Amino acid sequence: MKPSVVRRLRCGQLPRDATARSPSPEGGAKFQGRGLGKRAVRALLEQARDQDRWGPVHAFPATGNAASNGICRSLGFRLIAEIDMDFAGRALRSNHWVMEPGRDLV
């Protein structure tokens, strides 16, 4: 097994036009369903909360991505709306989730 699929997690401000993209495909199915994504997101949100570094955190998983929407729901994100957004030059129906780590993190 490779030592790490997640190359980097960091807390900090990104430029307003920065967009996070899909994770590296090298992980594959053998890493899915093990709670690794949830633990990684929780660790990042806990760091943000503990250092009081961020305001609201937004997530935009595809409406059909049950795993990513489940992570948002289980960590305390609030579902705001379904939206259409551009992803890699095409329309993607997404859920818009938001949370304040200092207040909402479960």
What confidence tens digit (pLDDT) does each residue in 76-101 have?
Answer: 999 999 999 988 889 999 999 999 99
pLDDT digits (tens, 9 = 90+) for 11-54: 454 444 444 445 555 556 777 787 888 999 999 999 989 998 78
Going by the DSSP 8-state scheme, the letter that residue 65 receives in this structure is -
pTM of the complete model: 0.72
> Rounded to an integer, what distance in angstroms lies between the CA atom of residue 69 and that of residue 29?
18
Enumerate the domain spans of the chain. Answer: 54-106
